[in-house]
A and B are shown apart, each in its own frame.
Chain A
Amino acid sequence: MPKIKLNLEIWRQKNAKSTGAFEPYQLSDIDDDISFLEMLDLLNEKLIKEGKEPIEFDSDCREGICGSCGVIINGQAHGPLQATTTCQLYMRYFNDGDTIVVEPWRAKAFPVIRDLVVDRNAFDRIISSGGYISTKSGPHPDANTHLIPKPVADKAMDDATCIGCGACVAACPNASASLFTSAKISHLGHMPQGQPERSRRVFRMVRQMDLEGFGNCTNIGECRAACPKEISLDTIAQMRRDYLSALKE
């Protein structure tokens, strides 16, 4: 199995208040079948053995479904691959001797807590402002009592795949949360249970998104390229349609 050696430049920051800086590290003997996070684990083991503070980063599922592991790798959210989370990025996509710069998500609404870990509670507050259905939908209905066209069901499902990782915000030159917010709005707005609160939901979630200090979308589309779940840009258009039709009420 090929082994590679890397030069790493990693953002170190003690806490939310301190000013951080990049620290250089060297790591050799990296099996190219391990993931990016496993590579960071190896580096941390080495640091611990040397009596140094390990690098803090978030991870949970390590299989691309929880959304906690995002970092900026050489200027790209979740690294160079499309439709991939950091935990699903393997070291075979890097070359022996590469220098890799690792930074946390950067946005006013995502303050750095420590090293590569940012506070993404702003997303939770957007969800609690309206990203739910409070009507009781009752027991499982009989088949075919609610006819839903396949494209509508597919769209709801596609938008429901958002894992809230924050890569859209991190990759956006405007640090806008429009792809995340619209995915939630569009997901619930395409379901029958989501209709009663549809207008209220879009107003509240857009307002909360603004209050958190995210930027405004200028339709650049970097979010779409960085999204590990490939949420489509027409989702943002859907949010705007919902907003405009809610205004007419």
Chain B
Amino acid sequence: MSHPQAKSITTVFKKVIIALSGLGLVGFVVVHLLGNLTLLRSDGSAFNAYAAKLEGLGGLLAVAEVGLLFVFLTHIGSTLTTKKRNLSARPVAYRQWKSKGGDTPSNSSSRNMAISGSLILIFLILHIWQFRFGPGMSQGYVATQGQEQIRDLYRLVVETLKNPLMAAFYSLVMVLLGLHLRHGIWSALQSLGLTRPRTLKPLRLAGAVIGVVLGVGFLMIPAWIYFGVSN
């Protein structure tokens, strides 16, 4: 049976796109965090070696970067157009609006996904500009690994995060990431129809815990470097 309606991107289908791209980004965030935990080794050699290994992947890294960019653009495009639709769905605002409470996922995370997401987006642009396109070996950021000379990305990270403004901004965004994912992980499962009457609440709790753990994990890095690393 074919339905003419099946071809249009309905709101339900849009949420599937948002959920899949969001979960894709969660996968990236987990891998990124695991790699970044090498920053907690204070001499920096572990982090630089990890960064050099990624750099050494060459073409494979380029493919991964383009893929990741695609997932980000999909997520941002689908969420922001959804936000636009939702804003126009209530042209006259309530004079007063109050949550009805009860046992629901309604909280500061779920009601402010576009705000947390947009700040994460601003952060991403700065973050990529600072590190991916930041100073490298030719600007003197050189570390030695055995006989080889590699980019001293660790020094760049430490210099950046020793700046109190940067440390504060990075920390803020990591909190926002945790809040985004406190709702996001569970929400994606719900958008994909994977929750059942009996699993709804356990999955909501598990998603929130994983989201907060990821946020706290990332928050450790600027905090550790700002307060813990001597230079």
Q: Which residues of A contact B (CB under 8 A)?
A: 9, 22, 72, 74-77, 80, 82, 101, 103, 106-109, 155, 171, 173-176, 178, 199-200, 203-204, 206-207, 209-210, 213-222, 224-226, 232-234, 236-244, 246-247, 249
Contact = CB atoms under 8 A, between A and B. Distances in A.
A216 B85 contact: yes
Interface in B1-22: 1, 3, 5-6, 8, 10-16
Nearest to B190: A219
23 contacts: A82-B101, A103-B95, A106-B90, A106-B92, A108-B89, A175-B86, A175-B90, A176-B11, A199-B1, A203-B3, A209-B11, A218-B110, A220-B106, A221-B106, A222-B106, A225-B99, A225-B101, A225-B102, A234-B196, A237-B194, A237-B200, A240-B193, A244-B193
A44 B88 CA distance: 34
Contact of A206 (B11, B91, B94): B11
Contact of B96 (A101, A173, A175, A206): A101
Nearest to B187: A219
B192 interface: yes
B183 interface: yes
A175 B92 CA distance: 11
B11 A210 contact: yes
Nearest to A221: B104
A240 B16 contact: yes
A103 B102 CA distance: 22
B89 A218 contact: no
A130 B196 CA distance: 24
A106 B10 contact: no
A16 to B, nearest CB: 12
B26 to A, nearest CB: 15
Nearest to A9: B95
B105 interface: yes
A207 B7 CA distance: 11
A173 B8 contact: no
Q: Specify which of B3, B110, B186, B194 lies most central, judged by the most chain A CB atoms within 10 Å of its CB.
A: B3
Interface residues of B, number: 48
B190 A82 contact: no
B16 A246 contact: no
B197 interface: yes
B195 interface: yes
Contact of A103 (B13, B91, B94): B94
Interface in B61-97: 82, 85-86, 88-97
A217 B185 CA distance: 15
B41 interface: no
B111 interface: yes
Contacts of B8: 207
Contacts of A217: 11, 15
B1 A108 contact: no
B100 interface: yes
Contacts of A249: 1
Contact of B183 (A22, A107, A219): A219
Given A206-B11, A233-B190, A249-B1, A225 B94 contact: no
B100 A216 contact: no
Contacts of B183: 219
A224 B1 CA distance: 34
B45 interface: no
A176 B193 contact: no
Nearest to A182: B12
Contacts of A77: 100
Given A219-B187, A222-B99, A234-B200, A106 B16 contact: no
B89 A175 contact: yes
Contacts of B1: 199-200, 249
B193 A247 contact: no
Given A173-B97, A210-B10, A215-B89, 17 more contacts: A76-B98, A77-B100, A80-B100, A106-B90, A106-B93, A176-B11, A176-B89, A203-B5, A203-B6, A206-B5, A210-B11, A216-B15, A218-B187, A222-B104, A225-B106, A234-B197, A244-B193
